[in-house]
Amino acid sequence: MPEISRARTASAITILAVALVCAFVLALSLGPTTVPFAAFIPDDPLGMLAALFSGGNVAGFFSDQTSYLIVYSIRLPRVIAAILVGAGLAAAGTAMQGLFRNSMADPYIIGTSSGGAFGAAVTIVFMGGLFLPVFAFIGAIGSTFLVYAIATRNGRAPVETLLLTGVAISMFFSSILSFLMYSAGNSLHQIVFWLMGGFWNVSWDDVWLALLIPVGGIILFVLARDLNVLSLGEEDALHLGVNVEQFKRILLFVASGLTAVAVSIAGSIGFIGLITPHVMRLLVGPDHRILFPAAMLAGGLFLLAADTIVRSFLGEMPVGVITSFVGAPFFIMLLRRRMRA
């Protein structure tokens, strides 16, 4: 493999950032109705900003009211949520892969998604879907804590035990989920849809929740050097001065918090958290100080692109369908290439 130079990582991050900005603007324009870029811009930008900060009505600053509604009330929150959820899943996946020293790990590996799905199914079946994000969040975070508690002995939670416990708890919640789906009757459709993952219900309220994702991302970025050392192995990390158990707790908490937020907004969207860190590691190398920003940008870009495609051309198909559909062959291609190398 070629040496990964500083220049290459810098340019990769720049390209990703520029691409994300372009995709952002394009996504606001694209959809069932194409909105021209000109309609994004208010007639009196300064006046609008003043009104925005004083809490006044900003709709009046736009001449085309329909376009304004489509872009700023429907598409903008959805686009932001897609970017943040993608970034969050990618960051969580990166953290999990570093922690488990395995590029096959993903954010759901310790039962976070099945816990979230369980929480979502409970409210769908018993409460008509009331507080769905809250239930999904509690389910996701709760299952992670459960896994950690079970895997911990004498204050130590070996990663192998965490992994196996995660698999077991995942299966356990999946079986309850299956039972709920089996007995769901009319709400089965809703559960299935939620499980596939998508952004069709996203509103500004979800965006406020999603703002936790950049916060988590920054925390992970700050911990990147520790994660570098930890990715050499727990004993090595201990010898190099990492307080391994405490660090693992923080890392697991932040990563599953990110995942839980993502899951509660968009359901369990597959593949982003697995493939983005993996691909970015091939591109910019394993140093988490670069890998975290790169993976978050790429994850946001990928999910935004996928969501824009489904809502523009595929009649609101759940986005989780397309991420795996595109992601899996791409991943296989990379794998084949690595086998040849």
Partner 1 sequence: MIDVEDLCAGYGGKDIISEITFSAGKGGFIGIIGPNGSGKTTLLKAISRVLDISGGVVTLEGRALSDFGQKELARTVGVVPQETAMNFSYTVADIVMMGRFPHKERFVKEDTEDYRIVREAMEVTNVAHLADRLVTDISGGERQRVIIARALAQQPKVILLDEATAHLDINHQVEILSIVRDLGESVTKIGVFHDLNLAAEFCDRIVLMMEGRIRAIGTPAEVLTMERLRDGYGITAMVQTNPVTGRPLVTPLSEGVSPALCGARIHLISGGGTGAGLMYMLAAAGCILTAGVLSPMDSDYMAASRLGIPCITVPAFAPITPAVCDALGAYLDEADVVILTAMPVGEGNLPNIRALTRARCSRLVLYVPGGEEFTDCTPAGDCSYLAKIRAAGCRVVSSRNALYKEVEKLVHTRNKA
Q: Which is nearer to partner 1, 42 or 285 (CB)?
A: 285
Report in angstroms how near the CB of residue 146 gets to partner 1 at its nearest: 24
Report in angstroms how near the CB of residue 88 gets to partner 1 at its nearest: 22
If one asks whether residue 336 binds partner 1 (CB under 8 A), the answer comes out as: no
Q: Which of residues 281-320 bind partner 1 (CB under 8 A)?
A: 281, 285-287
If one asks whether residue 161 binds partner 1 (CB under 8 A), the answer comes out as: no
Close Cβ partners of 20 (under 8 Å, ≥ 6 residues apart): 83, 297, 300, 301, 304
Task: Label residues 23-32 b or e (16+ Cβ within 10 Å = b).
Answer: bbeebbbbbe
If one asks whether residue 228 binds partner 1 (CB under 8 A), the answer comes out as: yes
If one asks whether residue 6 binds partner 1 (CB under 8 A), the answer comes out as: no
CA distances from 35 to 26, 71, 174 (A): 10, 8, 42
If one asks whether residue 52 binds partner 1 (CB under 8 A), the answer comes out as: no
Q: Which stretch in 71-79, 118-126, 181-189, 240-248 sits in contact with partner 1 by CB under 8 A? A: 240-248
Q: Which is nearer to partner 1, 103 or 312 (CB)?
A: 103
Report in angstroms how near the CB of residue 195 gets to partner 1 at its nearest: 31
CA distance from start to end of the chain: 8
Partners of 156 in the beta sheet?
Answer: 153
Partners of 153 in the beta sheet?
Answer: 156
Q: Is 135 in contact with 124 (CB distance < 8 Å)?
A: no
> Judged by CB under 8 A, which of 121, 242, 305, 322 binds partner 1?
242
| Integer Cα distance of 41 and 331 in angstroms | 39
Which residues contribute to the site for partner 1 (CB under 8 A)? 1, 3-4, 98, 101-103, 222, 225-226, 228-229, 231-233, 235-236, 238-243, 281, 285-287
